[in-house]
Structure 1
Amino acid sequence: MTDHIKTTVTDGVQTIRMNRPDKKNALSRAMYCAMTEALQAAEADEAVGCILFTGAPGAFCAGNDLADFMEIAKGGGLPTEVRDFLHALAKAEKPVVAGVDGLAIGIGTTMLFHCDLVLATPKSEFKTPFVDLGLTPEAASSLIAPRLMGNQRAFQMLAMGRPFDAEFARECGFVTEIVDDDVDGSAFAAAKAIAAKPREAVKLTKSLIRGDRSDVIERIDKEIEIFAKRLVSKEARQAFEAFFSRKG
Structure 2
Amino acid sequence: MSQHIETSKADGVLTIRLNRPDKKNALTREMYRQMTAGFATAASDETVGCILITGTPGAFCAGNDLADFMEIARGGGLPNEVRDFLHALAKAELPVFAAVDGLAIGIGTTMLFHCDMVLATPRSEFKTPFVDLGLTPEAASSLIAPRLMGAQRAFQMLAMGRPFDAAFARECGFVTEIVADDVEGSGFRAAKALAAKPREAVRLTKALIRGDRSDVLSCIDDEIEIFARRLVSSEARQAFEAFFSRKG
- Whether 1:138 and 2:132 are equivalent positions in the alignment is no
Q: C-alpha separation between the residues in 1 aligned to 2:14 and 2:155?
A: 34
- Tell me by how many angstroms 1:78 deviates: 1.1
TM-score by structure 1 length?
0.99
Q: C-alpha separation between the residues in 2 aligned to 1:194 and 1:29?
A: 31
Three-state SS of the structure 1 residue aligned to 2:38 is helix
- Tell me by how many angstroms 1:73 deviates: 1.1
One-letter amino acid matched to 1:82 = V
Q: Which runs of 5+ in 1 are unaligned?
A: none
Three-state SS of the structure 2 residue aligned to 1:85 is helix
Q: C-alpha separation between the residues in 1 aligned to 2:133 and 2:72?
A: 15
Q: Equivalent residue for 2:51?
A: 51
- Tell me by how many angstroms 1:75 deviates: 1.1
Three-state SS of the structure 1 residue aligned to 2:15 is strand
Three-state SS of the structure 2 residue aligned to 1:48 is coil
Q: C-alpha separation between the residues in 2 aligned to 1:198 and 1:34?
A: 28
One-letter amino acid matched to 1:87 = H
- Whether 1:215 and 2:215 are equivalent positions in the alignment is yes
Q: C-alpha separation between the residues in 1 aligned to 2:47 and 2:8?
A: 12
1:67-216 mapped onto 2 (5 Å cutoff): 67-216=67-216
Q: C-alpha separation between the residues in 1 aligned to 2:138 and 2:182?
A: 30
One-letter amino acid matched to 2:104 = A
Three-state SS of the structure 2 residue aligned to 1:37 is helix
Q: C-alpha separation between the residues in 2 aligned to 1:50 and 1:163?
A: 29
Q: C-alpha separation between the residues in 2 aligned to 1:139 and 1:198?
A: 30
Q: Equivalent residue for 1:65?
A: 65
One-letter amino acid matched to 2:107 = I
What are the Cα deviations for residues 18-60 of structure 1, in whole angstroms up to 9, with x where unaligned?
Answer: 0000000000100000000000110110010000000000000
- Tell me by how many angstroms 1:74 deviates: 1.1
Three-state SS of the structure 1 residue aligned to 2:98 is strand
Q: C-alpha separation between the residues in 2 aligned to 1:2 and 1:185?
A: 23
Q: C-alpha separation between the residues in 2 aligned to 1:4 and 1:47?
A: 25
TM-score by structure 2 length?
0.99
Q: C-alpha separation between the residues in 2 aligned to 1:77 and 1:201?
A: 40
What are the Cα deviations for residues 173-197 of structure 1, in whole angstroms up to 9, with x where unaligned?
Answer: 0000000010010000000001000
Q: Equivalent residue for 2:228?
A: 228
What are the Cα deviations for residues 116-164 of structure 1, in whole angstroms up to 9, with x where unaligned?
Answer: 0000000000000000000000000000000000000000000000000
- Tell me by how many angstroms 1:111 deviates: 0.2
Q: C-alpha separation between the residues in 2 aligned to 1:69 and 1:6?
A: 22
Identity of matched residues, %: 82
Q: C-alpha separation between the residues in 1 aligned to 2:67 and 2:20?
A: 15
Q: C-alpha separation between the residues in 2 aligned to 1:74 and 1:94?
A: 36
Q: Equivalent residue for 2:241?
A: 241
Q: C-alpha separation between the residues in 1 aligned to 2:241 and 2:74?
A: 13
- Tell me by how many angstroms 1:115 deviates: 0.2
Q: C-alpha separation between the residues in 1 aligned to 2:240 and 2:99?
A: 30
Q: Equivalent residue for 1:2?
A: 2
Moved >2 Å (runs of 4+):
none
Three-state SS of the structure 2 residue aligned to 1:98 is strand
